[in-house]
Amino acid sequence: MNPRIRKNVSIIGVPMDLGADRRGVDMGPSAIRCAGLEPRLEQLGYAVRDEGDLIVRRAKAYSAVPESNLKYLYEIVRVNEELADTVSDLIVGGRFPLVLGGDHSIAIGTLAGVLRHKESLGVIWYDSHGDVNTADTSPSGNIHGMALAVAMGYGHPALTGIGGERPKVKPEHVAIVGARSLDPGERDFLKAKGVTVFTMHEVDRIGISRVMEQALEVATRGTDGVHVSFDLDGVDPKDAPGVGTPVLAGISLRESLLAMEIVSDANVVTSAEFVEVNPTLDSQNQTARAAVELITSLMGEKIL
């Protein structure tokens, strides 16, 4: 996306915390807005429209779903159905959907909406976690740890059916970047499905530049667009402390900014979301401010 070309960007807030089962992350969209996202995007030449926030009802106890261990399943499905419709409508209207979370379960709806318009979507999943659990493998039942598996068509039918009949994300078109906390079931899933995973071992060994070049090769090979799903816990907690599930020894903010700059230069991104900012765990909105820097880097901001 050339920043010199005026484009239409729509911001959609999804104040969801049910997928993480931890309060605070629902305030993430407001924190990112307060950190100055809209004026920064306008400075880059984008025509920005804030679509406001979707309504998320505080659901009753997850025990109301007796056939499953999935927490708050029905409300998460309802919100993601609405998000899928919203994202799809924005794309029809010629707008770039920029979704702000909320926990990472909202990626289910974002991707469902985008996939109505793509036959073969590439995905860069920037995250310390794999998010490929299912009800059978999840230690917690938290749906934010299942979003990528659902997007690929694996999981509870109520989740995989969000957005109706549509193509699924193909495992060979997914690149996970920054993984350093994977559950045993996730390791088995990723190996069995052939998903490309760049752990911190690869980041340390070959550097973030080469990792992102390879991630783009995966996400663009035979695809008709790339979605960036950025979990702020992919960044090291020293630079992004305000997240619900921090994992030590992560990618620095400067490296992460470079990663987004490299993706921006490829001019292939058609949608994006930034999730898991939890202001209650933050210091002076540091993590939300980092999110704004990352978003504007993805959208074409340069130092010079």
Active site residues: 104, 127, 129, 131, 144, 231, 233, 276
For 15, 26, 71, 134, the CA distances from 63, given in Å and listed in that order, are 22, 21, 7, 17
131 labelled ligand-binding: yes
> Are the beta carbons of 149 and 176 closer than 8 angstroms?
no
DSSP string, the chain: --TTS--EEEEEEE---TTTT-TTGGGHHHHHHHTTHHHHHHHTT-EEEEEEE--------GGG-TT---TTHHHHHHHHHHHHHHHHHHHHTT-EEEEEESSGGGHHHHHHHHHTT-SS-EEEEE-SB-----TTT-SS--GGGSHHHHHTT-S-HHHHTTTSS-PPPPGGGEEEEEE-B--HHHHHHHHHHT-EEEEHHHHHHH-HHHHHHHHHHHHHTT-S-EEEEEEGGGB-TTT---BSS--SS-B-HHHHHHHHHHHHHHT-EEEEEEE-B-GGG-STTHHHHHHHHHHHHHTT----
In whole angstroms, what is the distance from residue 91 CA to residue 249 CA? Answer: 37
104 labelled ligand-binding: yes
129 labelled ligand-binding: yes
- Which residues are known binding-site members for Mn(2+)? 104, 127, 129, 131, 231, 233
- Which residues are known binding-site members? 104, 127, 129, 131, 231, 233
